[in-house]
């Protein structure tokens, strides 16, 4: 199945509607019925301003965060439409991918059972 890997980049200290922005995006994906989202913490990175962001022993607020979603074209369109309606600003990448599932006794992404 063809789709997109969508990755949002933010920091742990960014908040929206009382939640960490990363958690809020994961919650939106779940609310929309998307198949899954993964929130990952980074050790260190820098953004478009060149400012270094990192996790420190005493302070994690500046820790880089990624939200990853493997979505279909239709899900991608719905997700971006939903996020565009909000008052947030977040950098993202959107890469074409092929996705599927492996293994037995598992209903595939398209509802079929792998052979």
pLDDT in tens, 47-91: 677 766 666 655 556 788 999 999 999 999 999 999 999 989 999
| Helices then strands, each counted (H, E), the chain | 2, 8
End-to-end CA distance of the chain: 15
Fold of 2-98: Alpha-Beta Plaits (3.30.70)
Query: Which residue ranges make up each domain of the chain?
Result: 2-98
Spatial separation of the C-alpha atoms in residues 53 and 4, rounded to whole Å: 27
Does this model's pTM top 0.95?
no
Residues 10-60 have pLDDT tens digits of 988 899 999 999 999 999 999 999 999 999 987 677 767 776 666 665 555
């Amino acid at each position: 199945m063809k789709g997109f890997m969508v990755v949002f980049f933010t920091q742990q200290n960014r908040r929206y509607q009382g939640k960490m922005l990363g958690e809020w995006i994961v919650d939106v994906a779940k609310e929309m019925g998307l198949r899954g989202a993964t929130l990952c913490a980074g050790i260190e990175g820098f953004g478009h301003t060149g400012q270094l962001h990192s996790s420190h022993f005493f302070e994690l607020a500046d820790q880089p965060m990624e939200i990853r979603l493997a979505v279909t074209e239709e899900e991608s369109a719905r997700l971006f439409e939903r996020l565009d309606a909000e008052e947030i600003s977040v950098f993202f990448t959107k890469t074409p991918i092929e996705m599927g599932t492996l293994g037995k006794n598992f209903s595939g992404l398209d509802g079929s059972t792998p052979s």
